A and B are shown apart, each in its own frame.
Chain A
């Protein structure tokens, strides 16, 4: 019995299950921040998206991302995990076609499961930003394309041994690969859809559309925080005691700092410690530390999380100012948090923490090299994902349509899209404040 392989595998699978559980977190946060009349639609989107992602990633996503090929996408072992593979052999002993992951000594299916739940996370990020006005079927179609093609190609550049990795770009657990990708895809969707009816008044000012269940939102937020204890430390894909302990702490401290910074900022700027801002601050801190959790010190993680939490507060207000309607703050948390987290590696990385990987960032004497690579990656991924997503959304708009009718939007998507009500016992009215 090879104990190392067994322990590593158990760790990877348990961590993967925690990340899977984040789908529940997203569903609770999103439905909590949205109106009661759309609850069934939002929880349906968050449920079905993992099913869609599972199939898409199996059919071709995994192969494009991790198959050997060229610097831009995989070309071998593309379909149905069919490529030659002798995992858990590592390093030179590995002879299969998924070499980009030959450094981790776990079976192929464990690698697949772990990477699948990450792909699913990117897809579920989109569902929050497009909530309360998107057609269910159109969302499913977009999610399939995202997980089958867009996410894997970009992922290949960074984790699949592609050109960005070659440039010295580092993203340990996915501030860019998962969170920014989801956010850019979501932004394209939000722009194609337009804002919810009543979100912006005749004077152009943003109006509050209060969420219907703050308990749900907070429950979801803590589930996400817990899930991140799989997301970040799990990315070692090995039960390496020192590394996973370090990462769990940097992850937690960033979340804590993000929550506190956002709360303080909301208190000062808006007058009260708004729970929505606190939640999004914690999530922003988590997204912000995701790229660098293995490369930065615990002290740095507090700073990174705090800055990310503050950015999220500013981001939510800014998006309202420029008339972009994001019901849950996904663009601020995953987009702005993702960009900052990626760049933060270029500032805060310390070679001593993960020797032979990132080298030192700007603040630790490493100069601008790492930061430059990080910035290149941020821009390249933004352009590619936003551009391709825009085309896909427009194609869906031209064929299936993307937005529900005005009547349906006013009545609630639960009836229009699903013929169900989430709360049939209650009179379901609400006014756009």
Chain B
């Protein structure tokens, strides 16, 4: 099994979720995060004083899927999350050693 993490622009979450449904992903976890890569932050003004905000709000999603599904999932995320502008995000893929469905005790790919 593979765990896929993606950092995306917040307003793309819906599109990515639909794209994942379309390739057969049943569930996902989403977090609100802030971060930066090469996308610069902002200079803002508060009562006359300037300050720089490096961190940009993003969404992070995590999915665990069968090995065979992983490339399709990566492609689906990339296609749905891309806007062509800086700050679109990144996708990371890791090995996942185990998975269990708590309610039933199913293990491995059956738990997904």
Interface residues of B in 34-65 (CB under 8 A from A): 34, 42-46, 57-59
A270: Cβ under 8 A from any B Cβ: no
- A357 CB within 8 Å of chain B: no
On whether A431 and B59 interact (CB within 8 A), knowing A198-B11, A410-B11, the answer reads: yes
* Contacting pair A420 B44 (CB below 8 A): yes
Cβ contact within 8 Å between B11 and A419: no
The majority secondary structure among interface residues of chain A is: loop
Q: Is the C-beta of B68 less than 8 angstroms from some C-beta in chain A?
A: no
Q: Does A240 belong to the interface (CB within 8 Å)? A: no
CA distance A431 to B58 in the complex (A): 11
**Which of these, A415, A420, A427, A431, contacts B11 with CB under 8 Å?**
A431
Contact A432–B44 (Cβ < 8 Å): no
Inter-chain CA distance A421–B33, complex, in Å, is 17
Chain B residues 94 to 110 lying within 8 A of chain A, measured CB to CB, are none
Nearest-Cβ distance from residue B11 to partner chain A, whole angstroms: 5
Which of these, B10, B44, B45, contacts A429 with CB under 8 Å?
Answer: B10
B interface footprint on A92-123 (CB within 8 Å = 1, 0 otherwise): 00000000000000000000000000000000
Q: Considering only CB atoms, which chain A residue lies closest to B45 in the complex? A: A419
Q: Nearest Cβ in chain B — how far from A210, in angstroms?
A: 14
Closest Cβ–Cβ distance, residue A197 to chain B (whole Å): 8
Report the Cα distance A410→B11, complex, angstroms.
7
A428, CB-defined interface residue at 8 Å = yes
Question: Which of A180-201 touch B at CB < 8 Å?
Answer: 197-198
* A-B interface pairs (CB < 8 A), number: 34
- B46/A429 in contact, CB under 8 A: no
Whether the pair A427, B44 counts as a contact (CB closer than 8 A) is no
Q: From residue A373, how far is it (CB to closest CB) to chain B in Å?
A: 50
Which residue in chain B gives the minimum CB-CB distance to A407?
A: B85
By a CB distance below 8 angstroms, the chain A residues around B13 are 431
A415 touches B42 (CB 8 A): yes
Interface assignment of A430: CB less than 8 Å from any CB of chain B: yes
The answer to whether B44 and A428 have CB atoms under 8 Å apart is no
A433 to B33, CA, bound (A): 18
Given A198-B11, A410-B11, the answer on whether A427 and B34 have CB atoms closer than 8 Å is: yes
Whole-angstrom CA separation of A420 from B51 in the bound complex: 10
In the assembled complex, B14 has its CB within 8 A of some CB on chain A: yes
Q: How far is B83's CA from A197's CA once the two chains are assembled, in angstroms?
A: 15
Measured between C-beta atoms, what is the minimum distance from A415 to chain B in Å? 6
Out of A419, A428, A432, which one reaches B14, CB within 8 Å? A432
* Count of chain A residues near B, Cβ 8 A: 15
Chain A residues near B45 (CB-CB < 8 A):
419-420
Q: Which residues of chain A in 406-429 are interfacial with respect to chain B, using CB atoms and an 8 Å cutoff?
A: 407, 410, 415, 419-421, 427-429
Nearest-CB distance from B10 to chain A (Å)? 4
What CA separation (Å) do A292 and B58 show in the bound complex?
Answer: 52
User: Are A428 and B11 also in contact (CB < 8 A) when A419-B44, A420-B44 are?
Assistant: no
Q: Which residues of B contact A428 (CB under 8 A)?
A: 57
Least CB distance from A64 to B in Å reads 38
Contact A420 B57 (CB under 8 A): no
Chain A residue numbers with a CB within 8 Å of B59 are 429, 431
Residues in chain B near residue A421, CB distance under 8 A? 44
Q: Is the CB of B14 within 8 A of A431?
A: yes
* Residue numbers in B under 8 Å from A410 (CB-CB): 9, 11
Residue of A421, A427, A429 most packed against chain B (CB within 10 A): A429
Residues of A within 8 A of B11 (CB): 197-198, 410, 431-432
How would residues 351 to 395 of chain A score, 1 for a CB under 8 Å from any chain B CB and 0 otherwise? 000000000000000000000000000000000000000000000
| A420 & B46 in contact (Cβ 8 Å cutoff) | yes
Q: How far is the CA of A51 from the CA of B59 in the complex (A)?
A: 39
Closest to B59 in A: A429
In the complex formed, the residue of B with least CB distance to A412 is: B57
By beta carbon, the residue of chain A nearest B17 is A431
Interchain CB contact (< 8 A) of B57 among A419, A427, A433:
A427
Q: How far is the CA of A407 from the CA of B13 in the complex (A)?
A: 16
Q: Are A415 and B44 in contact (CB under 8 A)?
A: yes
Q: A427 touching B33 by the CB < 8 A rule?
A: yes
**Is B42 touching A431 in the complex (CB atoms < 8 A)?**
no
In the complex, what distance in Å separates the CA atom of A284 from the CA atom of B97?
Answer: 59
B12: nearest residue on chain A (CB-CB)? A431
Give the docked Cα–Cα distance between A198 and B14 (Å): 10
A420 to B13, CA, bound (A): 25
Inter-chain CA distance A415–B57, complex, in Å, is: 13
Q: Which residues does B use to contact A, with CB under 8 Å?
A: 9-11, 13-14, 32-34, 42-46, 57-59, 85
Given A427-B33, A428-B57, A432-B14, 5 more contacts at CB 8 Å?
A407-B85, A420-B46, A427-B32, A429-B58, A431-B59
29 CB < 8 A contacts A-B = A197-B11, A198-B11, A407-B85, A410-B9, A410-B11, A415-B44, A419-B42, A419-B43, A419-B44, A419-B45, A420-B44, A420-B45, A420-B46, A421-B44, A427-B32, A427-B33, A427-B34, A427-B57, A428-B57, A429-B10, A429-B32, A429-B58, A429-B59, A430-B10, A431-B11, A431-B13, A431-B14, A432-B11, A432-B14
